C-alpha cells in the first residue's frame, strides 16, 4: 500500500528509522514498506537511493518483483528489530558478531566502485566518488544494510531506547546531553503524555 502519510524520521539514526517503518505512532499500525511501491517511496524519502535508480526500477521491474524485495526488507527489519530490542541500552561487544552474520552476508553482495567525477561547487574540479552498481531490484536492500552496519559501528547501543508512549513502538538514539530523552518526539508522544498527566492531576484535585 502506498501510504500518503510521510514516513517518520525521528530516531536520530537512519538504521533505527528503518525499523520505524512499521509503527503505531498514534493508534493505528502503519507499515511504509508493505509492498514494492512503498519500499521505493521510503527509500526516496530516506535519500538512500538516487531518484533516477528508483524510477528505473519502478518502470522496468517485472510484475511482483518489487513486492518480493519489499518482503525481504520486512524480514530484514524484523530480524534486526529483535537484535536491537535484545541489545538496546548497553554497549555492544564482539560477542554480538555471531548474531550479525546475516547482515554481513547481505553486505558481501554489494558492488561498489570508485570513479573520477566532476565537482562544480564550491569550485570546479574533480573528485573521487564511490558509486554502486544497481543490477537488480534486490540491490535496493544494500543501502539499507549499510545503514544498519553504521548503526552497529557508529552508535553506542547504550543510547538506543524505545519510546515510553503506552502504544508507541518507535525506537530512537538518545543524543541529549543528559541522556534523558523519553519520547520519539514531543509532537507525537511527549505532548500526549503531558496532556494525560494534566488530566490525572485535575482528577486528583476533584
Alpha-carbon distance of 18 to 141, in angstroms, equals: 11
Q: What is the pLDDT of residues 115-148, one digit of tens each?
A: 999 988 777 899 999 999 999 999 999 999 999 9
CATH architecture of 14-108+138-205: Orthogonal Bundle (1.10)
Give the helix/strand (H/E) hosting 126: strand 125-132
Assigned C-alpha cell, 116: 573520477
Q: What is the pLDDT of residues 73-115, one digit of tens each?
A: 999 999 999 999 999 999 999 999 999 999 999 999 999 999 9
pTM recorded for the entire structure: 0.88
171 contacts 19 by C-beta, under 8 angstroms: yes
SS3 26: coil
Q: How many CA atoms lie within 13 A of 193 on its CB side?
A: 16
Domain boundaries, the chain: 14-108+138-205
Q: What is the pLDDT of residues 53-65, one digit of tens each?
A: 999 999 999 999 9
Q: How confident is the model at residue 5 (pLDDT cuts 50, 70, 90)?
A: confident
Q: How confident is the model at residue 186 (pLDDT cuts 50, 70, 90)?
A: confident
Query: Alpha helix locations (H) across the chain?
Result: 14-19, 36-45, 51-60, 65-87, 101-107, 141-154, 191-205
Amino acid at each position: 500500500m502506498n501510504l500518503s502519510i510521510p514516513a517518520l524520521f525521528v530516531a536520530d539514526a537512519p538504521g533505527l528509522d528503518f525499523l520505524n517503518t512499521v509503527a503505531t505512532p498514534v493508534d493505528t499500525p502503519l507499515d511504509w514498506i508493505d509492498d514494492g511501491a512503498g519500499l521505493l517511496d521510503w527509500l526516496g524519502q530516506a535519500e538512500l537511493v538516487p531518484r533516477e535508480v528508483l524510477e528505473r526500477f519502478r518502470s522496468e521491474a517485472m510484475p511482483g518483483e518489487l513486492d518480493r524485495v519489499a518482503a525481504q526488507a520486512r524480514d530484514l527489519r524484523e530480524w534486526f528489530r529483535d537484535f536491537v530490542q535484545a541489545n538496546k541500552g548497553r554497549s555492544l561487544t564482539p560477542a554480538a558478531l555471531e548474531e550479525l552474520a546475516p547482515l554481513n552476508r547481505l553486505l558481501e553482495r554489494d558492488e561498489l566502485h570508485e570513479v573520477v567525477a566532476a565537482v562544480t561547487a564550491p569550485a570546479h574540479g574533480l573528485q573521487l566518488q564511490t558509486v554502486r552498481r544497481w543490477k537488480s531490484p534486490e540491490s535496493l536492500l544494500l543501502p539499507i544494510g549499510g545503514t544498519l552496519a553504521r548503526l552497529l559501528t557508529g552508535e553506542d547501543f547504550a543510547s538506543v531506547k524505545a519510546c515510553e508512549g503506552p502504544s508507541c513502538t518507535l525506537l530512537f538514539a538518545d543524543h541529549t546531553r543528559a541522556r534523558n530523552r523519553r519520547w520519539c518526539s514531543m509532537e507525537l508522544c511527549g505532548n500526549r503524555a503531558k496532556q494525560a498527566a494534566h488530566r490525572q492531576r485535575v482528577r486528583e484535585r476533584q
